[in-house]
Amino acid sequence: MAAEIIQGLNSYFTFRLGSELFAVNIGHVTKILGLSEITRVPNSPKYFRGIINLFGDVLPVFDGRLKFGFPEVESTRNTCILVFVFELDGQVVSSGIIVDSVEKVLIFESDQIRPAPTVGKGFNNEYIHGITTYKDEFVIILNLEKIFSEEEISLIKSVE
Amino acid sequence: MSKQILIADDSESIREVLAYSLKNAGYEVLMACDGVDALKYLDGRTVDLLLTDYHMPNMNGLELIGKVRKIENYKFIPILVLTTENQNNLMKEARDSGATGWLTKPFNTEKLLQTLRKVIR
Amino acid sequence: MNSFAEKFKAEVGEYCERLESGLLLLEQDKENDQVIDEIFRIMHSMKGSGGMFGFDLISDVTHDLESLYDLFRNKKHKIDSEVITFTLNSIDGLHHLMVQKPEDEHLARAEELKLATRQQILRLTQEEITPENLKSPVRSSALEQVSNPVTYFISFIPDEDILANGTNPLYLIDELHALGECNIRVSFSQLPALSEINPEKCYLSWNLFIASTENVETLHDVFIFVTKHAQVTIEKVATFNVLQNEAVLSDFLNAKYKNEQWISLEPEVQPAIKTEIIDPDENEEAGVLLKSVAEVSKNSVFAQTTVDSIRVDSLKIDQYMNLVSELITAQSRLEMISTKIKNPDLEQISEAFEKLSRQLRDNAFYMSLIPLQSIAVRFKRLVHDLSKSLEKEVVLVTDGMETELDKNIIEKLIEPILHIIRNSLDHGIESKSARLAGQKDPVGTISIKASTIGSYVQIVIEDDGAGLDLNKIKEKAISKGIFPDLASMTQEEIFHLIFEPGFSTSELITDVSGRGVGMDVVKRRVQEMRGSIEISTEKNRFTRFTIKLPLSLSIIDGLLTSVGESYYVIPSSVIKKIYTIKRELLKTEFRQVVELEGIQFPYINLHQEFENGNHLPEEQFVVVVAFDNQSFGLVVDTVIREYQAVIKPLGRQLKGQDVFSGASILGTGQLALVIDTNKMIQKYS
């Protein structure tokens, strides 16, 4: 798949997990898919939901809620898969992440973005690129590269 | 897969202008600053065309060609020598030492690509 | 272009500094040829680059300076202090001429410098300078364009050794094509008997007619690189296009060549300049000969265009495959709807559609696979040529070259395999006398064997040479000082040190396999394809490299099975037998074994491993697979059917696991995981 990361944009794609509003730079987002059948990979970690067929290619899909420490919920009709690209070992890689709902595209100038606060509950601080606000609500801008670049799923021998 | 061209020239400006035109034309470009450097690049790689200057420090273009032709993989690789006008004896010398052809300076992109078409597809 | 001009300016500054220091050195040592060479070279570069970037004055002035220094370089004259001082002053003057749009003042200064240079030359040579040997070259003025096509006859007879210079005569013919309509005939008359053909030589010649609006000079220019290596004649046939008039053409040729036979290329194949032979002579012998020519030329360097294939950008194939996948997904939806509606007409269409799309998919998948055969020629050539130059007698044995691999993998395989062969020839196989002394066959053997094993392709490259020298490797490791812990390493681990960067056992860096690139690069290349490389060796007997490559994009025959809700593919190549089995026959105490037809063997129940053992079905299937010369049972819920699986990589993030070698997209668009049975058994038993 010839995916490309578009750099230097200041538009952000926002989505929700639980009550929190998250954002990723729009240059990383390639597609939004409805929740379709996901093929489970046996004995993989719970936050790794499995793989889907994305136009003839295999796309790994992660559960946003579990990955970021939110409780598991039933999916709704708003639940969808956000497909994004990032760089891993010099190669552009695609992954999907399941989010509760997608919101709108917002523009944040770099001076609107503040560094991440040092305390987060159960949330790895490195994952956050910065924080900003939109209509009195905090928006957490994610650093996708950090979240998934270190990720290498290995299978557990057996689930007890 | 796009063709890889190795440029050997000690002049950075010539290297850059060549690289610029060749990349625009869809080639992949490697750059070496003299013959010794070029040989290092050739080792273990698949280069489709060598474009070398004649006058270079350390190892000149013709010496380089002689060495390249001794490498099994590059026996038949097209090689062009960069020359300046009115150096007819040099062109003959270049052919004799194994060059496929030459490209005379000054050249523009059109002339460069036209010359390449004689030796590579 | 401007940034290039800036770069050039900076470069000129640098050049001037180097000229200055060179000149100062010369002042001390006027016979220093190296410095004179360097000065000449710099002048030459400035001349060439100056013209390129629009600094014509720099170019003009350095042109004359170059002529001056040519006198010293050719040892015709000796440099003296006056010239050195003069040159130093000229260099200062050059700084002022660094303009792209010269004004009168600049022009005058340049003229002054040129004149002074000529005076220097005059002073040294005592000769009158003719305008020819000093004047800047004059470009030939634009030649008039002919508006109506004129028919020319071109005879192009390359020397036999034309290929040695990297010339591909076909490109030249192709270039002519761009200049006008062509009618091309190839002569095979110089072709020797098959056994005497040297693929490095060119035996063909061409006669062609071209109807072109270009002038004769332009046509001659096509052959400019080969004037010394070919006979090219161009004649005017008619002042208009007579290509369609075969009678005129053959009359012309008959008048020229009474006895030779020329084979005309059919117009349709001409643009690609294939050496396809149309209408071979009815004479049978000639027909046979032509056929073998086509075969030989396939292997020779000469015919890089093959007769019966076209080149397609692999990206286009990828796109095509993706489209086919989408088509299949759409088709499965159609099938679902058709089953629901139960309209016989629609069902018929749906069935036909399904069949066609399946065929289309198979077709698309096969397109991206090529057999190893396609690169085997290169290995043979290397062994042939290199063994000769090393004065060793070596035969290359190949097996399984029909094994197919993805085109991209094949391309990346060439270099590593060539390197291994080079090593074997150079360091592995001993000299003839050493082999005789060791009571070995004086003829060495290198073998390349390829086969598909499970979901891998395995390529084994083996030589019957001296083997690796354990002590030498140890010594080397110690002398390099990078592997201090040799004592605790096994013999095998020590042999694998040759894959470490910077490690090379050859004491002499030979032309063949020395110089920097080592086995570490080979290993890296193989790993880049997600493969592995192993080495085994026995002293005085053999060295064996085993490369295993995943079939990342390849097709395997497999068995489609299901466990729980999910689908899994087991490669057919490892499957021995399939049984149905009742739950109570699967023993779980102590050790998981099952007894079938009187034989006991261990098993893994995939349902238990993948689905936590919930809802274990009453009846399951045991798929018996080969594992290390033993039988091993994989228990699945159902066996669906045989299935040709196209394996898609699972993506970088799943690289950490190796139980599943990929996923395959089923006709319905669903995914099935492809099991690597060896890895699975190792992990779960």
Chain C: closest CA distance from residue A57 (Å): 7
Q: What mean pLDDT do residues C161-168 have?
A: 82
Give the nearest chain C residue to B82 (CA atoms).
C48
Q: Is C93 on the interface with A (CB under 8 A)?
A: no
**Using CA atoms in the order C33, C37, C39, C42, what is the torsion angle rounded to 10 degrees?**
-170
| Burial class for C432, CB neighbours closer than 10 Å (0-12, 13-18, 19+) | middle
Interface mutation target, options A4, A39, A95, A146, chain C, most CBs of C under 10 Å: A39
Q: In sequence order, what are the residues at sequence separation of 6 or more whose Cβ sits closer than 8 angstroms to the Cβ of residue C670? A: A37, A39, A53, C567
- Whole-angstrom Cα distance, residue C208 to residue C595? 77
Contact between C547 and C526 under an 8 Å Cβ cutoff? The reply is: yes
Model pTM score: 0.43
- Whole-angstrom Cα distance, residue C73 to residue C67? 10
Q: In chain C, what percentage of residues exceed pLDDT 70?
A: 81
All structural domains of chain A, each given as residue ranges with its CATH number in brackets, are 11-149 (2.40.50.180)
C-chain CB neighbours of B69 within 8 Å are 164
pLDDT per position as a tens digit, C594-619: 888 888 888 898 988 888 767 788 88
A-chain CB neighbours of C665 within 8 Å are 53, 56
pLDDT at C272 over 80: no
DSSP letter for C30, please: T
Residue type at position C605 = N
Give the nearest chain C residue to B120 (CA atoms).
C171
Of C11, C165, C515, the CB nearest to B43: C515
Q: In chain A, what percentage of residues exceed pLDDT 70?
A: 82
Residue type at position C244 = Q
pLDDT-derived band of residue C298, with 50, 70 and 90 as boundaries?
very low
For chain C, what is the mean pLDDT?
78
| Contact between B46 and C414 using a beta-carbon 8 Å cutoff | yes
Q: What mean pLDDT do residues C3-30 have?
A: 82
Of B46, B77, B106, the CB nearest to C51: B106
pLDDT at C509 over 60: no
| Contact between B117 and C171 using a beta-carbon 8 Å cutoff | yes
Residue type at position C258 = K
Chain B: closest CA distance from residue C169 (Å): 9
pLDDT-derived band of residue C285, with 50, 70 and 90 as boundaries?
very low
| Contact between C653 and A148 using a beta-carbon 8 Å cutoff | yes
pLDDT at A86 over 60: yes
Chain C: closest CA distance from residue A35 (Å): 14
| Contact between C651 and A58 using a beta-carbon 8 Å cutoff | yes
Q: Which residues pair with C638 in a beta bridge?
A: C562
Which of A68-82, C117-131, C305-319, C483-497 shows the lowest mean pLDDT across its residues?
C305-319
pLDDT-derived band of residue C280, with 50, 70 and 90 as boundaries?
very low
Q: What mean pLDDT do residues C443-472 have?
A: 87
CATH number for the region C555-684 comes to: 2.40.50.180
Contact between C58 and C12 under an 8 Å Cβ cutoff? The reply is: yes
Contact between A22 and A14 under an 8 Å Cβ cutoff? The reply is: yes
| Contact between B78 and C167 using a beta-carbon 8 Å cutoff | yes
Q: Is B16 on the interface with C (CB under 8 A)?
A: yes
pLDDT at C141 over 50: no
- Most confident range (mean pLDDT) of C48-52, C224-228, C567-571, C615-619 is C567-571
- Opening angle at CA C140, ends C137 and C143, nearest 5: 170
- Whole-angstrom Cα distance, residue C567 to residue A40? 10
Q: Is B120 on the interface with C (CB under 8 A)?
A: yes
Give the nearest chain C residue to B70 (CA atoms).
C511
Q: ipTM, 2 decimals?
A: 0.85
B-chain CB neighbours of C521 within 8 Å are 44
pLDDT at C464 over 90: yes
Q: Which chains have 3 or more CB–CB distances shorter than 8 Å to chain A? A: C
Which of C343-347, C501-505, C629-633, C646-650 shows the lowest mean pLDDT across its residues?
C501-505
Residue type at position C473 = I
Give the nearest chain C residue to B100 (CA atoms).
C165
Q: What mean pLDDT do residues B77-81 have?
A: 90
Q: Tell me, what's the pLDDT at C528? A: 65
Which of the two residues, C472 and A22, has the higher pLDDT score?
A22
pLDDT at B46 over 60: yes
| Burial class for C631, CB neighbours closer than 10 Å (0-12, 13-18, 19+) | middle
- The sign of the CA dihedral C102, C104, C109, C111 is positive
pLDDT at A156 over 70: no
Q: Tell me, what's the pLDDT at B90? A: 76
pLDDT at C201 over 80: yes
CATH superfamily of C374-550: Histidine kinase-like ATPase, C-terminal domain (3.30.565.10)
pLDDT-derived band of residue A61, with 50, 70 and 90 as boundaries?
very high
Contact between C560 and C628 under an 8 Å Cβ cutoff? The reply is: no
Which of the two residues, B19 and C476, has the higher pLDDT score?
B19
Q: What mean pLDDT do residues C59-80 have?
A: 86
Of C325, C609, C665, the CB nearest to A42: C609
pLDDT-derived band of residue C590, with 50, 70 and 90 as boundaries?
low
Pairing of β B4-8 and β B28-32: parallel
pLDDT at B82 over 50: yes
Q: Tell me, what's the pLDDT at A150? A: 56
Q: Give whole-number Cα distances, C129 to B71, C63, C67, in Å.
A: 45, 15, 11
Q: Tell me, what's the pLDDT at A97? A: 92
Tokens of C418: 């060539």
pLDDT at C259 over 60: no
Instruction: Please state whether at least 3 CB pairs lie below 8 Å between chains A and B.
Output: no
- Under CATH, what is the fold of the domain C150-299? Alpha-Beta Plaits (3.30.70)
Write the CATH number for B68: 3.40.50.2300
- Please give the span between the terminal C-alpha atoms of chain C, in angstroms, as a whole number: 66
pLDDT-derived band of residue A39, with 50, 70 and 90 as boundaries?
very high
Which of C59-63, C177-181, C291-295, C617-621 shows the lowest mean pLDDT across its residues?
C291-295
- Reference C637, options C540, C549, C558, C566; nearest CA is C566
DSSP letter for A111, please: G
pLDDT at C42 over 60: yes
Interface mutation target, options C313, C647, C652, chain A, most CBs of A under 10 Å: C652
Size of interface B-C (CB pairs under 8 A): 124
Which of C3-7, C212-216, C344-348, C552-556 shows the lowest mean pLDDT across its residues?
C552-556
- Under CATH, what is the fold of the domain C2-134? Four Helix Bundle (Hemerythrin (Met), subunit A) (1.20.120)
C-chain CB neighbours of A85 within 8 Å are none
Q: Which helix (H) or strand (E) holds C413?
A: helix C407-423
Of A51, A91, A158, the CB nearest to C650: A51
pLDDT at C309 over 80: no
Tally of structural domains, chain B = 1
| Contact between B77 and C222 using a beta-carbon 8 Å cutoff | no
For chain A, what is the mean pLDDT?
81
- Reference C538, options C491, C582, C602; nearest CA is C491
Strand intervals (E) in C606-677: 619-627, 630-636, 638-646, 660-665, 671-675
Q: Tell me, what's the pLDDT at C178? A: 81
- Reference C450, options C528, C518, C370, C530; nearest CA is C370
Q: Tell me, what's the pLDDT at A154? A: 60
Q: Is C325 on the interface with A (CB under 8 A)?
A: yes
Q: Tell me, what's the pLDDT at A100? A: 93
Q: Is B51 on the interface with C (CB under 8 A)?
A: no
| Contact between C652 and A59 using a beta-carbon 8 Å cutoff | no
- Whole-angstrom Cα distance, residue C210 to residue C149? 9
Chain A: closest CA distance from residue C416 (Å): 22
Chain C: closest CA distance from residue B61 (Å): 12
Q: Tell me, what's the pLDDT at A98? A: 94
pLDDT-derived band of residue C266, with 50, 70 and 90 as boundaries?
very low
Q: In sequence order, what are the residues at sequence separation of 6 or more whose Cβ sits closer than 8 angstroms to the Cβ of residue C605? A: C586, C592, C613, C616, C620, C635
C-chain CB neighbours of B119 within 8 Å are 166-168, 171, 225
Pairing of β C444-453 and β C394-399: parallel
Contact between C184 and C170 under an 8 Å Cβ cutoff? The reply is: no
pLDDT at B70 over 70: yes
- Reference C162, options C302, C23, C257; nearest CA is C302
Chain A: closest CA distance from residue C535 (Å): 27
Q: Which chains have 3 or more CB–CB distances shorter than 8 Å to chain B? A: C
Q: Which residues pair with C605 in a beta bridge?
A: C635
Burial per residue of C633-655, b for 16 or more beta-carbon CB atoms within 10 angstroms, e otherwise: bbbbbebbeebbbbbbbbbbbbe
Which sequence spans correspond to the domains of chain C? Answer: 2-134, 150-299, 314-367, 374-550, 555-684
Residue that the structure tokens 């956050």 belong to = A128
Q: Tell me, what's the pLDDT at C373? A: 83
Q: Which chains have 3 or more CB–CB distances shorter than 8 Å to chain C? A: A, B
Q: What mean pLDDT do residues C53-80 have?
A: 86
Q: How many helices (H) and strands (E) does chain A have?
A: 2, 10
Give the nearest chain C residue to B114 (CA atoms).
C175
pLDDT-derived band of residue C267, with 50, 70 and 90 as boundaries?
very low
Which of C119-133, C507-521, C556-570, C597-611 shows the lowest mean pLDDT across its residues?
C507-521
| Contact between C385 and B72 using a beta-carbon 8 Å cutoff | yes
Tokens of C566: 């999910």
Q: What mean pLDDT do residues A118-139 have?
A: 76
Q: Is C685 on the interface with A (CB under 8 A)?
A: no
Which of C161-175, C498-512, C556-570 shows the lowest mean pLDDT across its residues?
C498-512
pLDDT at C101 over 60: yes
Which of the two residues, C457 and C525, has the higher pLDDT score?
C457
pLDDT-derived band of residue C449, with 50, 70 and 90 as boundaries?
very high
Of A42, A58, A153, the CB nearest to C648: A58
- Reference C62, options A45, B8, B105; nearest CA is B105
Q: Is C324 on the interface with A (CB under 8 A)?
A: yes
Q: In chain C, what percentage of residues exceed pLDDT 90?
A: 9
pLDDT at B40 over 50: yes
Q: What mean pLDDT do residues C179-207 have?
A: 82
Chain C: closest CA distance from residue A145 (Å): 13
Of C48, C163, C517, the CB nearest to B76: C163
Chain C: closest CA distance from residue B104 (Å): 9
pLDDT at C277 over 50: no
Which of the two residues, C278 and C100, has the higher pLDDT score?
C100
